[in-house]
Amino acid sequence: MSNSDRVVLVLGGAGTVGSGVVKALLDKGFKVAVISRDDSRLERLRSFVSPNTKSSLTTVVGNVGSEDGAEQVKQALLKEVGKVTDIVSSLGFSWWQGGPPHTQSLKDLHWVMETLLYSTFVSWKAFFPLVRDSSDCTYTFITGGAGEKLLMPGTGFLTVGAASSLAFCQVLREEYPELPCKLNQVKINAGVGTPERMAPGYLNHLDLGEAVAALVERRKASHTVFTINCPADLKTALLEGSL
C-alpha cells in the first residue's frame, strides 16, 4: 500500500505536537484526517500545512472525549474518508501549572484526567477496531515524560495525568501482546514548540513530526516505546531513521 492509499487519523492534530505530525505526513503523501472541537483551530491547521497538500487533509469538528461524541465523529469521518489505516493519538495539553495539590479542587483533577486519559481511552476504544486486524495498519501514542517526575513546583496534576497515559499505553501492550496492527508509543521527555515559540532544550514540532511520520511510514516495530530525551536524540532519530 503506497502512502497515498493510506489515511492517517491524527487525534489532537490541531495541537502543537499533532500539527507537526499532520504537516509531515501530508508532505510524505499520506491522506490525513483531523478531529478538533474547535473549527477555528482546524482553519489554522489548514493554512499551516503545505499548500500543495491541502486537498489531502480532511478536517471534522467533534469531541473524542465522550463515548457518544467519539462514535458520532467516527461515523462522520468515515463518510468523508471511507477508511482509516493509521492512527496517531496526540491528545492532551501542552502545559499545566495550576499549583500544588492542596490548592486544587476535584474539578481541576477531573479536567486533567479528562483531557489526558479519558479522551485517549475513549478514542482508542472507538477507533482501534478500524485498524486492529491488519498488519498494514498502525496506532501510535504520543506521551510525555512528565508522568515520571514533577517537572517543577505547581505541575503536580500534569504528572498525575501524564502518568495515567503512560500506564494506559503499558496496559495495552501487555493486554494485547499479539496484534496484527503495529502499536507503538513515542515518549517525549522534553518540551515541544513551534519555531516561533522555542526555548532551550525544546524540540521543534516540525522535526518531531518528521520523525513520527517516518515511524508511521515504516510500519516495522510494534509494542515499542521510543523515547526522545532532547533535540540531539531527535536529530539522531531523523538521521538514522531509528524511530
Ligand X SMILES: NC(=O)c1ccc[n+]([C@@H]2O[C@H](COP(=O)([O-])OP(=O)(O)OC[C@H]3O[C@@H](n4cnc5c(N)ncnc54)[C@H](OP(=O)(O)O)[C@@H]3O)[C@@H](O)[C@H]2O)c1
Where do runs of H (alpha helix) occur along 82-155? 106-113, 119-131
- List C-alpha distances in Å: 23 to 3, 36, 79, 174: 14, 16, 23, 32
- Per the CB < 8 A criterion, the answer to whether 60 and 87 are in contact is no
CB of 48 to ligand X, least distance (A): 12
Q: Compare residues 7 and 126 and give the one whose CB is closer to ligand X.
A: 126
The Cα 182–Cα 61 span in angstroms is: 27
Classify residue 117 by its DSSP letter: I
Cα maximum dimension of the chain: 53
CB of 3 to ligand X, least distance (A): 23
Q: Compare residues 94 and 135 and give the one whose CB is closer to ligand X.
A: 94
Three cell numbers written together for 189: 521527555
The Cα 164–Cα 104 span in angstroms is: 18
Q: Compare residues 134 and 227 and give the one whose CB is closer to ligand X.
A: 227
Residues in a beta bridge with 89: 11, 141
- Per the CB < 8 A criterion, the answer to whether 208 and 162 are in contact is no
CB of 116 to ligand X, least distance (A): 6
Q: Compare residues 22 and 137 and give the one whose CB is closer to ligand X.
A: 22
The residues binding ligand X (CB under 6 A) are 12, 14-18, 35-38, 41, 63-65, 90-94, 115, 119, 142-144, 162, 188, 191-192
Q: Compare residues 5 and 148 and give the one whose CB is closer to ligand X.
A: 148
CB of 94 to ligand X, least distance (A): 3
CB of 12 to ligand X, least distance (A): 3
Closest residue to ligand X using C-beta atoms: 15
